[in-house]
Chains A and B, each alone.
Chain A
C-alpha cells in the first residue's frame, strides 16, 4: 500500500511545477467539456517504486454513452467549421501543452517509469507540434482535379467522418495521443480518447489543456478504463463511433477489428513490431553503437519501433558487440526522475514477468551477454519493475526470442555474411513495422531499403518522425498509414464531383 512519505514527495514534484488539479491524484473522465469523477476506481501505480500514487475511474456503458453523445452533438458544429476556423482552437490547445511542459515531463515519467531525461529531449514540444502541424496542414493542403478529354472535369472534395475513438498504448501515452488528436480534430472529427489503464495521468492533463484552450464541449473527450468488457470494447462496438485509431498489440488489434466489423468502422491500426536493425561492415561503428543503444533501450525497449533484432555482418560482429555490451553496461538504470538516469522501470509487474519469461527462454536456449537480471537498487526503487539492459546472442532465427515481440530492454543478435542473407533474416518474422539500416554504402542502402517488407526504414538513425510522411506497418504490424495526406483515407471522407461542360 501507499508509503505516505514517498507519496508526498511524488506530489511535491507536481505541485512545485504548477500541477493544475487538486491532490491527491484522483483522475477524472472528461466528457462534454466537464471533468467527471466517475466510478469503479482503480489504482495508478508508479512503476519505479510500485507505490500507488493515485486512482482513476473505469468508464463503462454510462460514461461511454455520455461521451459518444457529447462527441456526436459537438460534431454538428465542429465539422462545419472551416479548417482555418478550427485552427485557432488547436493552436491554443498546443500552447497550453507547452505551458504545462514541466508538468507533462514529470507526469509522463510517473505514468510510464521512463527516465525524465527522455521526456526532455523535445518530447513535449513534439506533442504540441503534433496538434499544430495538422491544424496548419488542414488549412494549407489542396486537393486533386482530373480533367477528362470528353468535356468533363472531376475534382475531389473531403469532409469529416464523425466520432473517432482514439485508443492509445501505455508506452508513449501523451505523444501517441497527440499524434491521433491532431489529425482527428484538424480534419473536423470529434474525439474520444481512451488511454491505456496503466497511464491515465497524461490524458487527464491533456483534457485540462483542451479545456483551458476553450475547445467547444464534446470536441475532445477522455474516458478512462480497460479494454475487454470495459470502456475500450464498448467504444469499439458503439454504432455511433465511426473511426478507430488504435496503437497497441497485434492480438488486441485483431479483436478490435472483429468488434468494429458490425458497424463497418474505419480502422487505423499501428500494431506490434520486431524491427530488424541491420548493421553492415561499412557502417560507422561508433555511430552504429549509439543508434543501436537508443533503438534497443529507449523507453526501456518498450517501443513498437524498437530495433530488437540486431543483424550484424560477421566481419564486424565481435568489435560491434564488444562496444555495444560496454555501452549497455554503462547505462544508468534507476530513479527515473533523476536527470542522470538513462533507463527506468518497466510498466507493470505483469509486464516485467512477461519479459522475464523471455529472459528465461534465452537463458536456456541462448547466451545472455549482459543483463538478464533485475538491478540492485536502494529503497524505494528495490520494489520497482526494473530490468538491466539485456543482450542475447547464439540464437536461431526461428527461436521465440527472435520471432515474438518482447517489448522490453532485451535484444537478440545474429551474425550474417551477405546482403541477401541479411534481407532474408530481416523479413523473416510476421511483423513489418519498421527496420534500421546502418551502412555507408549508398547502393546497398537503396537495395536493402527496397527489399525490406516494412512500413518505415530508418537509415543510420532511428525514430525520426516527419509528420508529412506515411507512418504505419506492413504484414502483422498494422493497417493503414497516418501522417500528412496519407491520413486522408482514414480521417476524411472523400467525395468525387464530376461536372459536365454542357
Chain B
C-alpha cells in the first residue's frame, strides 16, 4: 500500500475503534481500487453479503464515478432493533435486499443473476460513517466500508422486486420516500457485483441501495412500507 493508503487505513481504524469522528475531504492520494483494498483490510470476512451505495446516476455524478460503490456486510451487522449508542452518527435509508439461492461466478450474465435470486426483502440500511457530517471523498467513504453500520431485514419474502415506492417513517412521521424503479435492474446490479468481488455465494444477501436520501435517526419506532409489506423496528 502507498503511504497515503496506510495513513487512510490507520485513520479509519482508529476512528472506528475510538468513536472519534474525522474531518473528511482530504486528498490522500488514494484511488478507488486502493480504497477497496483498505476496506478489505479493515473489514475482512467471513461475509454475509454486500451493500451497494451511490446507485443513482445523480449521486454517482456528484462523486465523479460511473458505477455504484460496495460495502461489506458481516453477520453481526444484521440487527433486530437499533441501539443508537452503538453508532457514531447513524442515519437510515429505505432499501430492498435480495437473497441468493445459487452461486454467481464472476462474468455471469444478467439472466444468470436473475436465476440466482432467491427472493426480496424490505430492508433498512443503518448507515454509519467516521467522516463528520458524511462529508467525504470517494476514497474516504469506500475505505470506511461505504458507511456500513447495520441492517434491518423484513420477515416477508417477496418473489419479485416490490413495485411502487418505499416509504420510511420515524414515529409515524414520513421521513423518506423514493420510487423503487430508481434501484435499477437487480440482475444487472448482481452481475456487476459478482464481477467486482470475484463471485457471490448462495445464501448471501445483497442490499440494493436506496431510492431516497438518508435521514438521521431518533429513538422511537422505525417503519418501512413497500407494496403493502412492512418492516418495523424499535430504535432506542
Q: What distance in Å separates the Cβ of A315 from its nearest Cβ neighbour in chain B?
A: 39
- What is the CA–CA distance of A378 and B227 in the complex, to the nearest angstrom? 12
* With contact pairs A9-B230, A102-B221 given, residues A16 and B81 touching in the complex (Cβ less than 8 Å): yes
* With contact pairs A120-B171, A339-B172 given, residues A16 and B233 touching in the complex (Cβ less than 8 Å): yes
Query: A-B pairs with CB below 8 Å: how many?
Result: 39
* CB of A201 closer than 8 Å to a CB of B: no
A residues within 8 A CB of B198? none
* CB of B140 closer than 8 Å to a CB of A: no
* CB of A450 closer than 8 Å to a CB of B: no
B171 — nearest CB in chain A belongs to which residue?
A120
A381 — nearest CB in chain B belongs to which residue?
B228
In the complex, the answer to whether B232 meets A16 with C-beta atoms within 8 Å is yes
- What is the CA–CA distance of A16 and B233 in the complex, to the nearest angstrom? 5
B residues within 8 A CB of A41? none
A residues within 8 A CB of B171? 120
Chain B stretch 95-145: residues in CB contact (< 8 A) with chain A? none
Q: What distance in Å separates the Cβ of B54 from its nearest Cβ neighbour in chain A?
A: 29
On chain A, the number of residues with a Cβ less than 8 Å from chain B's Cβ atoms is 19
- What is the CA–CA distance of A102 and B172 in the complex, to the nearest angstrom? 10
In the complex, the answer to whether A116 meets B232 with C-beta atoms within 8 Å is no
B residues within 8 A CB of A105? 221
* CB of A262 closer than 8 Å to a CB of B: no
Q: What distance in Å separates the Cβ of B127 from its nearest Cβ neighbour in chain A?
A: 20
Binary contact track A1-24/B, C-beta < 8 Å → 1, others 0? 000010011001100111000000
* CB of A117 closer than 8 Å to a CB of B: yes
* CB of A335 closer than 8 Å to a CB of B: yes
* CB of B83 closer than 8 Å to a CB of A: no
In the complex, the answer to whether A102 meets B228 with C-beta atoms within 8 Å is no
Residue in A8, A335, A339 whose beta carbon sits within 8 Å of that of B223 in the complex? A339
- What is the CA–CA distance of A16 and B81 in the complex, to the nearest angstrom? 7
In the complex, the answer to whether B234 meets A16 with C-beta atoms within 8 Å is yes
Q: What distance in Å separates the Cβ of B176 from its nearest Cβ neighbour in chain A?
A: 13
Residue in B172, B225, B228, B234 whose beta carbon sits within 8 Å of that of A17 in the complex? B234
* CB of B218 closer than 8 Å to a CB of A: no
* CB of A337 closer than 8 Å to a CB of B: yes
- What is the CA–CA distance of A109 and B14 in the complex, to the nearest angstrom? 47
* CB of A318 closer than 8 Å to a CB of B: no
* CB of B80 closer than 8 Å to a CB of A: yes
Chain B stretch 146-197: residues in CB contact (< 8 A) with chain A? 155-156, 167, 169, 171-174
B residues within 8 A CB of A378? 228
In the complex, the answer to whether B174 meets A339 with C-beta atoms within 8 Å is yes
- What is the CA–CA distance of A117 and B167 in the complex, to the nearest angstrom? 15
Q: What distance in Å separates the Cβ of B164 from its nearest Cβ neighbour in chain A?
A: 12
Chain B stretch 20-48: residues in CB contact (< 8 A) with chain A? none
- What is the CA–CA distance of A120 and B172 in the complex, to the nearest angstrom? 7
Q: What distance in Å separates the Cβ of A49 from its nearest Cβ neighbour in chain B?
A: 12
Chain B stretch 63-119: residues in CB contact (< 8 A) with chain A? 80-81
- What is the CA–CA distance of A116 and B234 in the complex, to the nearest angstrom? 16
B residues within 8 A CB of A116? 172
A18 — nearest CB in chain B belongs to which residue?
B234
In the complex, the answer to whether B80 meets A117 with C-beta atoms within 8 Å is no
In the complex, the answer to whether A337 meets B230 with C-beta atoms within 8 Å is yes
* With contact pairs A120-B172, A335-B228 given, residues A12 and B221 touching in the complex (Cβ less than 8 Å): no
- What is the CA–CA distance of A478 and B232 in the complex, to the nearest angstrom? 42
* CB of B220 closer than 8 Å to a CB of A: yes
- What is the CA–CA distance of A185 and B171 in the complex, to the nearest angstrom? 31
- What is the CA–CA distance of A13 and B225 in the complex, to the nearest angstrom? 12
- What is the CA–CA distance of A340 and B172 in the complex, to the nearest angstrom? 9
Residue in A8, A13, A102, A117 whose beta carbon sits within 8 Å of that of B230 in the complex? A13
Chain A stretch 378-392: residues in CB contact (< 8 A) with chain B? 378
In the complex, the answer to whether A102 meets B233 with C-beta atoms within 8 Å is no
A residues within 8 A CB of B221? 17, 102, 105
In the complex, the answer to whether A102 meets B234 with C-beta atoms within 8 Å is yes
A116 — nearest CB in chain B belongs to which residue?
B172
- What is the CA–CA distance of A335 and B227 in the complex, to the nearest angstrom? 12
In the complex, the answer to whether A17 meets B232 with C-beta atoms within 8 Å is yes
A5 — nearest CB in chain B belongs to which residue?
B156
In the complex, the answer to whether A102 meets B155 with C-beta atoms within 8 Å is no
Binary contact track B213-236/A, C-beta < 8 Å → 1, others 0? 000000011010100101011100
B220 — nearest CB in chain A belongs to which residue?
A102
- What is the CA–CA distance of A12 and B173 in the complex, to the nearest angstrom? 21
B residues within 8 A CB of A337? 230
In the complex, the answer to whether B80 meets A16 with C-beta atoms within 8 Å is yes
In the complex, the answer to whether B234 meets A13 with C-beta atoms within 8 Å is no
B residues within 8 A CB of A102? 220-221, 234
In the complex, the answer to whether B80 meets A9 with C-beta atoms within 8 Å is no
* CB of A338 closer than 8 Å to a CB of B: yes
- What is the CA–CA distance of A13 and B155 in the complex, to the nearest angstrom? 10
- What is the CA–CA distance of A485 and B174 in the complex, to the nearest angstrom? 41
- What is the CA–CA distance of A18 and B220 in the complex, to the nearest angstrom? 12
- What is the CA–CA distance of A18 and B173 in the complex, to the nearest angstrom? 20
Q: What distance in Å separates the Cβ of A214 from its nearest Cβ neighbour in chain B?
A: 23
A117 — nearest CB in chain B belongs to which residue?
B172
A9 — nearest CB in chain B belongs to which residue?
B156
Residue in B80, B155, B172 whose beta carbon sits within 8 Å of that of A8 in the complex? B155
B235 — nearest CB in chain A belongs to which residue?
A102
A residues within 8 A CB of B233? 16
- What is the CA–CA distance of A8 and B154 in the complex, to the nearest angstrom? 12
* With contact pairs A116-B172, A120-B172, A339-B169 given, residues A12 and B232 touching in the complex (Cβ less than 8 Å): yes
A residues within 8 A CB of B225? 338-339
Chain A stretch 74-133: residues in CB contact (< 8 A) with chain B? 102, 105, 116-117, 120
- What is the CA–CA distance of A8 and B221 in the complex, to the nearest angstrom? 19
- What is the CA–CA distance of A8 and B230 in the complex, to the nearest angstrom? 12
Beyond A8-B155, A339-B169, 8 extra complex contacts between A and B, CB < 8 Å: A9-B155, A18-B234, A102-B234, A117-B172, A120-B171, A337-B230, A339-B174, A340-B167
**Chain A: residues with CB nearer than 8 A to chain B?**
5, 8-9, 12-13, 16-18, 102, 105, 116-117, 120, 335, 337-340, 378
User: Can you pick out 13 interface pairs between chain A and chain B where the beta carbons lie within 8 Å of each other?
Assistant: A9-B156, A16-B80, A16-B81, A16-B234, A102-B221, A105-B221, A120-B171, A120-B172, A337-B230, A338-B225, A339-B173, A340-B167, A378-B228
**Chain B: residues with CB nearer than 8 A to chain A?**
80-81, 155-156, 167, 169, 171-174, 220-221, 223, 225, 228, 230, 232-234
The 9 tightest CB contacts between A and B, nearest first, are A120-B172, A16-B232, A102-B221, A339-B169, A339-B172, A12-B155, A13-B232, A16-B233, A17-B234
